[in-house]
Structure 1
């Protein structure tokens, strides 16, 4: 019996260029809740980014896996799990800024900032439907303070070189090129989902996951039921139990209806 559903954000709960979410997404979450199923977010996004840019409209969830599993809270904002980046990796990233042509975004628990408003950053965040992060004139903050995710922007050959020099970080992709998320080795969305499952007392077979991209594959493999959105990559579709229509065709609602039909007793 499915007790919880974990949803990716971009390409799943919302289209990349949407402001807020469409009515059928509200309907989907309401249907799940009416069936007694808890609903969770699992995203590479920062919580302030979601709030400030109104990415999820007025939707509220029972828990949140942010920053690819590195910062997790319950629905009231109480911290459930964290996995900070080792300070040496942030320090090395700052050194590499002097030698390599890339831009850097650092994410603390309550804020995030970039070293410059480069064209690569502006273009990437425009495709995501979010504003360009603020520039921090003192990037040493990311060495002095606890950081939960670094993001590097630029040409992929440069980003691969940079990532190779940060051995305590694992690069996570969510796009076709131009940016890499860097999180601690061994941490991904699946790590955060597992922590949330433990917190709420769920077994893997009691959860479902819905996503569309590289960084969703771990949680889709973990979940008892997995759904890939119609806009998803072929390799993500290949591991899913069900491929939903595109979000433009009420895909999220269809995904939830599939999960409820397959994952709840007939009496429900």
Structure 2
């Protein structure tokens, strides 16, 4: 029996990074009514996930910042991780020199250093206000604990940057594409699967009682956790190979889960 349904957000549940379709909304509400716990597993912040649950009128667990923070539906923190405070300032220096747009996430905020037209335009896709932090470089050296760097650029530029960062910070961080034009840098060993494993242990749920759905490279480890895994049809072939089923919509995966629950 499926006891937990975990969905990625951007490219999966969220359309155009901003809204959930009516069919997917109804599906999530119906599966919750059957007693299946919902979980958002995404690179987005915990605050954004909390807001999205409120908009949908349901409650659920949150695996945020690609697994750096895991919070259950009662609001209790299961686990949290941060980048080494000695590493973050050096990461900042490398990224800053490239001239790409970037954000630095902490437990409570997504920080940006400079006010630009780009920041104004992109704020709309976030469900929580970005924080202008002009002193973030000094803050990283002192008290601010970063949990994620997010860099936005063309994929070729990001892959070049990834190679440089992997070489310079080998064994100190994990670095991966979370979307076509988005590179995430997180603490070593942090990914959605690791976050979900912490959540499963806290809920006493087995991996084969979990269903997941995603669409991107940062979902691959999560998709490999369970035989009940779904990949969006828009995903790259490598991502599709990690899942058991390919679907066009989240509600299709929910129907599969509902059939399993009703049959048990």
Question: TM-score normalised by the shorter chain: which range applies?
Answer: 0.7 to 0.9
Which blocks of at least 5 consecutive residues in structure 2 are unaligned? none
RMSD across aligned positions (CA):
2.5
Distance 1:49 1:160 in 2: 30
Distance 1:242 1:137 in 2: 45
Report matched runs for 1:64-79 at 5 Å: 64-79=62-77
Distance 1:76 1:55 in 2: 13
Aligned to 1:145: 144
**CA drift at 1:264:** 2.9
**CA drift at 1:117:** 4.4
The answer to whether 1:9 aligns with 2:9 is: yes
CA contact (8 A) 1:7 1:41 kept: yes
Higher deviation after alignment, 27-36 or 194-203: 27-36
Which blocks of at least 5 consecutive residues in structure 1 are unaligned? 246-250
CA contact (8 A) 1:103 1:116 kept: no
> Which residue of 99, 106, 114 corresponds with 1:108?
106
Aligned residues: 256
Distance 1:76 1:62 in 2: 8
User: 1:17–1:265: structure 2 CA closer, same or farther, 3 Å change rule?
Assistant: closer
SS of the counterpart of 2:132?
coil
SS of the counterpart of 1:239?
coil
The answer to whether 1:95 aligns with 2:93 is: yes
CA contact (8 A) 2:49 2:62 kept: no
Distance 2:54 2:165 in 1: 32
Distance 2:168 2:15 in 1: 34
**CA drift at 1:71:** 0.6
SS of the counterpart of 2:15?
coil
Aligned to 2:205: 202
User: 1:166–1:103: structure 2 CA closer, same or farther, 3 Å change rule?
Assistant: farther
CA contact (8 A) 2:103 2:151 kept: yes
Higher deviation after alignment, 192-201 or 106-115: 106-115
Aligned to 2:31: 32
Report matched runs for 1:1-268 at 5 Å: 1-18=1-18, 20-50=19-49, 57-97=55-95, 99-117=97-115, 125=122, 129-130=125-126, 133-139=130-136, 140-143=138-141, 144-154=143-153, 155-156=157-158, 157-167=160-170, 168-177=172-181, 179-245=182-248, 251-261=249-259, 263-264=260-261, 266-267=263-264
Distance 1:13 1:185 in 2: 27
TM-score (normalised: structure 1): 0.85
CA contact (8 A) 2:53 2:60 kept: no
Distance 1:89 1:119 in 2: 30
User: 1:58–1:232: structure 2 CA closer, same or farther, 3 Å change rule?
Assistant: same
Distance 1:145 1:4 in 2: 34
TM-score (normalised: structure 2): 0.86
